[in-house]
Structure 1
Amino acid sequence: MTKWLLRSMTELSSRKWISSLTGRFAQSAASRPFISRFAKTYGIKIEEAEKPLSQYMTLNEFFTRRLKPGLREIHEGIDSLVSPVDALITGAGPISSGTIVNVKGQDYTIEELLNRSPRTANYMNGYYIVLYLSPTDYHRIHTPVSGRIVEREHVLGRVYPVNDFGLRHMRRVLSRNERLITYMQHSAGETAVVKVGAMNVSSIQYVQPLKPEMVKGEELAYFEFGSTVVLLLEDGTFTPRDNGLLGMKVRMGERLGALQDN
């Protein structure tokens, strides 16, 4: 009964207009007094922020803050795949015949996650990594590989929460929420960077100008409030690092594994 009630409440609160209202408030000057309280509540390391707290004019500006230069080391290995974000890895493993198995108890199909793109065929037996960003985390998204952007797609959808409750108790959240998908061609094949919106996320934005050729670790996009990134690696192009990925807290630029030609 409790689970049903929580699910029903989440369904009612996961309307795009509610997220839009939240987003508008976060982008307004009225949100400025909440910045320090927000930082304290979530234990955000304000000393890492590019600017002093007093220089952020809105809560959204603080939330999408850049870091001071040099605080995230980008793994330099020519064959390394790096984390595009500061995050907790909540799912990782081989893709089996187009299915991602048991992410918080639920299975997902690549076809659904990628909005039935013809590129689905590239990932039927590849590898997936789910990276969850909490409100505490730095929310800019960087490129996990050096390569060329070959396609982008904006998939409209819902704004269910992508936290532990949402992933466990809401039906296939990752493939029902709004998504911004970037396909990158690199030396070993192709990678899909799937940015998944969440409750109270007003939007997912690409940085501007967005270059067609990008170097590993460059800024790609950012979330306005917390969400999730799903990395998909083409069949036969990726080996995860030896100490495993699932349950690891990682920082942007940290090595996740090795790319190889398929």
Structure 2
Amino acid sequence: MMKRILRLFTELSSRKWVSRITGNFASSKLSRRLIPTFARTYGIRIDEAEKPLEQYETLNAFFTRKLKPGVRPLASSEQALLSPVDAVITGIGPIEDGQIFNVKGQDYTLDELLNQSPHRQKYKHGYYYVLYLSPTDYHRIHAPVGGKTVETEHVAGRVYPVNDFGLRHMPRVLSRNERLITYLRHTVGEVAVVKVGALNVSSIRYVDDVTLPQYERGQELAYFEFGSTVVLLTETGTYTPRDDLKLGDSVRVGEALGELHTKPERAATVRK
């Protein structure tokens, strides 16, 4: 019964106007006095922040803070797929014929996640990560590869929570919520960075509200205003994941998730 009540409440509060009200307050000068309490409550590493706590004028400015240079070093291998965010892995595994299985007990299709984009065919047997950002985490999103921006898409939708409750008990949250999708072409293939909005996220923004034609590996790509999730997809046959990462593990920006490589058929052609 309690789960039904919580689910009904979440359904009713998943409207954009609710998040807009929250976002407006977080961007107001009134929210500034909450910053120290917020930082203590969530155990945020304020020593990593670009500026001292008192220099942030709003809660949103603190939440979307940059970090000091060098705090998140990039993996040394140029072929590494980098974690685009500080997050907990809530979904991980191979994509099987366009299906993503068992993300907190629910399955998804690339058709719905990528909004029927023609790009979905490239990922039918690729690999996926679902990366959840809690309020504790640094909330800027970085390019997981260096490469060209092939396309971006904004998909309108709801703002259900993407925490454990939302993913388990709300139907198909990742494909019903608002999404901002970036497709990046790197040296041996393509990756999709799917930024999923959530309850109390007033917006997902590209840095300076601009999409660049080209990104360097680790370069700032976008940011969330409040916690949310990134779904990272790799093109079929172009990626080998690390074998020590599993559900529930934490990753940080710039950390190697695995290695990008040439598709097997291409490699075989080269050897001939």
Q: Do Structure 1 and Structure 2 share a fold, with TM-score over 0.5?
A: yes
Q: Which runs of 5+ in 1 are unaligned?
A: none
| Cα distance in 2, alignment partners of residues 82 and 118 from structure 1 | 25
Pair 1:40-2:40 in alignment: yes
CA deviations over 1:65-106 (Å, ceiling 9, x no partner)? 000111001012121001000000111100111110000000
SS in 2 for 1:25: helix
Pair 1:148-2:152 in alignment: no
| Cα distance in 2, alignment partners of residues 116 and 144 from structure 1 | 23
Aligned to 1:202: 202
Aligned counterparts, 1:126-137, within 5 A: 126-137=126-137
The alpha carbon displacement at 1:58 in A equals 0.4
Moved more, 224-233 or 75-84: 75-84
1:126 counterpart letter in structure 2: G
SS in 1 for 2:181: strand
2:202 counterpart letter in structure 1: S
| Cα distance in 2, alignment partners of residues 194 and 167 from structure 1 | 16
2:247 counterpart letter in structure 1: L
Pair 1:238-2:239 in alignment: yes
The alpha carbon displacement at 1:243 in A equals 1.1
1:239 counterpart letter in structure 2: T
| Cα distance in 1, alignment partners of residues 93 and 218 from structure 2 | 23
| Cα distance in 1, alignment partners of residues 249 and 261 from structure 2 | 23
| Cα distance in 2, alignment partners of residues 200 and 258 from structure 1 | 35
SS in 1 for 2:149: strand
The alpha carbon displacement at 1:246 in A equals 2.5
SS in 2 for 1:230: strand
The alpha carbon displacement at 1:212 in A equals 1.1
SS in 1 for 2:85: coil
SS in 2 for 1:217: coil
Aligned counterparts, 1:115-194, within 5 A: 115-194=115-194
CA contact (8 A) 1:245 1:256 kept: no
Aligned to 1:213: 214
CA contact (8 A) 1:162 1:228 kept: yes
Aligned residues: 262
The alpha carbon displacement at 1:125 in A equals 1.0
Aligned counterparts, 1:7-18, within 5 A: 7-18=7-18
CA deviations over 1:200-257 (Å, ceiling 9, x no partner)? 0000000124421111100000000000000011111111112133221011000000
The alpha carbon displacement at 1:22 in A equals 0.4
Pair 1:228-2:234 in alignment: no
Pair 1:78-2:78 in alignment: yes
Aligned to 1:19: 19
1:259 counterpart letter in structure 2: L
| Cα distance in 2, alignment partners of residues 211 and 172 from structure 1 | 31
Pair 1:247-2:248 in alignment: yes
2:26 counterpart letter in structure 1: A
1:219 counterpart letter in structure 2: E
CA deviations over 1:94-138 (Å, ceiling 9, x no partner)? 011111000000000001000110111111111100000000000
Aligned to 1:54: 54
| Cα distance in 2, alignment partners of residues 105 and 56 from structure 1 | 39
> Once the two structures are aligned, what percentage of the paired residues are identical?
67
| Cα distance in 1, alignment partners of residues 162 and 146 from structure 2 | 28
Q: Which runs of 5+ in 2 are unaligned?
A: 264-272
